[in-house]
């Protein structure tokens, strides 16, 4: 399975663009921002990071994002079929994240859901 991140520059190995809201929260992409707006909280994959520019530097935020969102973790996916099956298990996002980490599959579920190409 492949992830094609539209916000990452694969040639320069760096973020190509980011999403910053009016409160100065930095999101890795519009998908994480949209989910934040819908749920009123950060996605589990990034909730441990201080993403606000009033209390953290852009350099640190990008460093933290790059630990979990990078070419290696994007390779560690499950198939869309398995992803759907796990979602149907009524476990909620946290259990799915734990399941994936246990399997050594560390690609954030939102990236798989949105940007998995095949």
Site for ligand SF4 in 35-94 (CB under 6 A): 69
Q: How many CA atoms lie within 13 A of 37 on its CB side?
A: 12
Beta bridge partners of 61: none
Only one of the segments 6-14, 51-59, 76-84, 88-96 lies at the binding site for ligand SF4 (rule: CB under 6 A); that segment is 6-14
Taking the complex as a whole, the smallest distance from the CB of residue 72 to ligand SF4 amounts, in Å, to 13
Q: Decide whether 34 or 56 has the Cβ nearer to ligand SF4.
A: 34
Taking the complex as a whole, the smallest distance from the CB of residue 56 to ligand SF4 amounts, in Å, to 18
Residue 9 belongs to what H/E stretch? strand 8-9
Beta bridge partners of 3: 116
**Is 8 within 8 Å of 58 (Cβ atoms)?**
no
**List 25, 26, 31, 36, residue binding ligand SF4 (CB under 6 A):** 31
Site for ligand SF4 in 89-118 (CB under 6 A): 110-111, 114-115
Residues 6+ away with beta carbon under 8 Å from 14: 8
29 contributes a contact to ligand SF4 by CB under 6 A: yes
How many other CB atoms sit within 10 Å of the CB of residue 53? 14
Residues that bind ligand SF4 (CB under 6 A): 3, 5-8, 28-29, 31, 69, 110-111, 114-115
């Amino acid at each position: 399975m492949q992830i094609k991140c539209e916000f990452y520059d694969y040639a320069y190995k760096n973020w190509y663009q980011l999403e910053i809201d009016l409160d100065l929260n930095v999101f890795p992409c519009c998908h994480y921002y949209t989910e934040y707006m819908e749920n009123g909280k950060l996605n589990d994959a990034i909730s441990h990071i201080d993403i606000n520019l009033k209390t953290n530097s852009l350099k640190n935020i990008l460093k933290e994002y790059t630990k979990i969102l990078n070419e290696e973790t994007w390779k560690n996916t499950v198939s869309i079929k398995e992803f759907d099956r796990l979602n149907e298990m009524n476990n909620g996002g946290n259990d799915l994240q734990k399941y994936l980490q246990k399997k050594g599959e560390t690609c954030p579920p939102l990236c798989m859901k949105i940007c998995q190409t095949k």
